[in-house]
Amino acid sequence: MTEATGGIEMEEGVGGKVKKFLYVNRKAPYGTIYALESLEVVLIAAAFDQDVSLAFLDDGVYQIVKGQHTKPIDVKNFSPAYRALEGYDIEKLFVEKESMEARGLKEEDFIVPVKVIGTQEMTDLMQSQDVILSF
Amino acid sequence: MLHTVNKSPTERNALESCLKHLKKGCAVLLIEDGVYGALKGTSSTKMVEQALKNHPIYALYPDIEARGMQDRVIDGIKLVDYSGFVDLAVEHPSVQAWL
Amino acid sequence: MPITVAGKTVETDEEGYLANRTDWSEEIAKEMAKVDNCDLSQNHWEVINFLRQYYDEYQIAPAVRVLTKAIGKKLGPDKGNSKYLYELFPYGPAKQACKYAGLPKPTGCV
């Protein structure tokens, strides 16, 4: 039901055609503000019902590892929010295999279900988008 | 698509990662500290020359000049000014920034 | 404007959201509602408690659309709709209920 009404709203409503949006995340979570900013933009822009994917590559893969406890550095741990994305109908999360492996990580180390893809597939994913937002 | 890189290759892996994600028809534009990736005789020169065989690479000349690098640019890298930057962005269907 | 309940004063931001989430108590929620001329019923508490649980789990306040859908999943379709939630919280379910629940304003809420 949600999807059907979402589609109608998009075709006839303010947004026009549904576009493919890719959020590219390449930074570790707490050293800079990029990761949190990206997440906030994703959550806000979810209201526009577009075709959204998230890509995690390079140090961006560190954003979604399990076991983050930020109390000792007195910073908000925003990693649980990635698990809320499903409720926002954002379910396409991609991790680049080479980036993951270079950092000693495995698929089961992530806090959310992701699809692990190689550099070639990641390149194709980027190429197939209407809009790319980099963080 | 057009890829922009604005970080020095000796400080970040933005350029390296960008070059790994190029497809046929992709172009690269080096801006800000990214122009250090356009230089001869550096640790990333070979990687850039390799990419040049398959993809056009541009560097924003005002950023090259500001950094005093005008005599060190790799042969084959095309220099553009700000309006050239705009042309590139318009010519390509999408733009991705490597930060 | 700070809120004082039973002799204890807690800080809020300029829109009345708690400055520190840990200051929250049911009495504070009631006091906030009183200012809005809202008498908290069992139905209000259901939503407020749901929001507190949601925040504990995800560390964000949900967008209205997400809240509505999640309430429907948990409490049934007669409660998981905008009409029901706006009747309970006329200033906007996410905005007003989040305030009573001691949460920050939802991301993206203006």
Q: pLDDT category, B42, cuts 50, 70, 90?
A: very high
The full length of chain B comes to 99
Q: Which CATH architecture has domain A22-134?
A: 3-Layer(aba) Sandwich (3.40)
Q: pLDDT category, A7, cuts 50, 70, 90?
A: very low
Which of the four CATH numbers 1.10.10.370, 1.10.10.10, 3.20.10.10, 3.20.20.20 does domain C3-100 have?
Answer: 1.10.10.370
**What does CATH list as the number for B2-98?**
3.40.1260.10
Alpha-carbon gap: C21 to the closest alpha carbon of chain A (Å): 13
Neighbouring CB atoms inside 10 A of C15's CB total: 9
Question: Do C108 and A47 count as a contact with CB atoms less than 8 A apart?
Answer: yes
Does the pLDDT of residue A23 top 50, yes or no?
A: yes
What is the pLDDT at residue C101? Answer: 97
What is the pLDDT at residue C109? Answer: 59
Q: What is the pLDDT of residues A39-61, one digit of tens each?
A: 999 999 999 999 999 999 999 99
Residue of B nearest to A22 (CA): B96
Q: How far is CA B20 from CA A11, A56, A98, in A?
A: 36, 15, 11
Q: What is the pLDDT of residues A57-74, one digit of tens each?
A: 999 999 999 999 999 999
Q: Are strands A92-96 and A51-56 parallel, antiparallel or unpaired?
A: parallel
Q: What is the pLDDT of residues C42-75, one digit of tens each?
A: 999 999 999 999 999 999 999 999 999 999 999 9
Q: What is the pLDDT of residues C73-91, one digit of tens each?
A: 999 999 999 999 999 999 9
| Residue among B20, B94, B99 minimizing CB distance to A119 | B20
Q: What is the pLDDT of residues A74-130, one digit of tens each?
A: 999 999 999 999 999 999 999 999 999 999 999 999 999 999 999 999 999 999 999
Whether C109 is catalytic: yes
**Mean pLDDT score of chain C, rounded to an integer?**
93
Under DSSP, is residue C38 helix (H, G, I), strand (E, B) or coil? coil
Does the pLDDT of residue B89 top 70, yes or no?
A: yes
Residue A25 backbone dihedrals phi, psi, to 5 degrees: -110, 115
Query: What ipTM does this complex have?
Result: 0.89
The edge-to-edge listing of strands for the beta sheet with A92-96 is: A115-117, A92-96, A51-56, A20-25, A131-134
